């Protein structure tokens, strides 16, 4: 299985503009540029999209892993905080912090934490990212 996304860029780094689209059309010419990436300008940016992909992947993977233990979540809400920092070579994504809150009937805290941590390592997006990935996982009733 392969999925595609594309980006178009015109102009210089500061004055240029780009668009990002996905094969499914969920994103269709979504605007991005210097200000949306490095300042607080309108539009999206690659880090935001990585965060969305990671949060979605982790939530689905956690549901799978909980199911393997006979647990079915009522809900899983995950936020991914992606850190972009300047270093000697330019900019780099230096960390992703996952914040997960889940309601899982029948789960105890120890079991939930064990499954949540294992999922942090096994989710496909976690596996592709070569940066520090941290997690706050909370079991809610």
Whole-prediction pTM: 0.88
CATH no. for residue 100?
Answer: 3.30.300.20
Please, what is the Cα angle at 63 between 55 and 99, to 5 degrees? 35
Number of domains present in the structure of the chain? 2
Looking from the CA of 57 toward its CB, the CA atoms found within 13 Å total 19
Q: Print pLDDT tens along the chain (141 aa).
A: 889 999 999 999 999 999 999 999 999 999 999 999 988 899 999 999 999 999 999 999 999 999 999 999 999 999 999 999 998 989 889 999 999 999 999 999 999 999 999 999 999 999 998 778 899 998 998
Q: Which domain holds residue 106?
A: 46-140
12 and 78 together in one domain = no
């Amino acid at each position: 299985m392969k999925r595609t996304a594309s980006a178009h860029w015109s102009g210089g780094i500061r004055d240029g503009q780009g668009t990002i689209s996905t094969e499914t059309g969920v994103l269709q010419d979504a605007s991005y540029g210097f200000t949306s990436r490095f300042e607080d300008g309108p539009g999206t940016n690659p880090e935001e999209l990585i965060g969305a992909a990671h949060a979605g992947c982790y939530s689905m993977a956690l549901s799978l892993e909980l199911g393997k233990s006979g647990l079915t979540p009522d809900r899983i809400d995950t936020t991914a905080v992606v850190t972009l920092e300047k270093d000697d070579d330019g900019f780099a994504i230096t960390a992703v912090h996952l914040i997960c809150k889940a309601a899982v009937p029948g789960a105890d805290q120890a079991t939930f934490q064990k499954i949540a941590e294992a999922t942090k390592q096994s989710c496909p997006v976690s596996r592709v990212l070569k940066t520090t990935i941290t997690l706050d996982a909370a079991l809610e009733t």
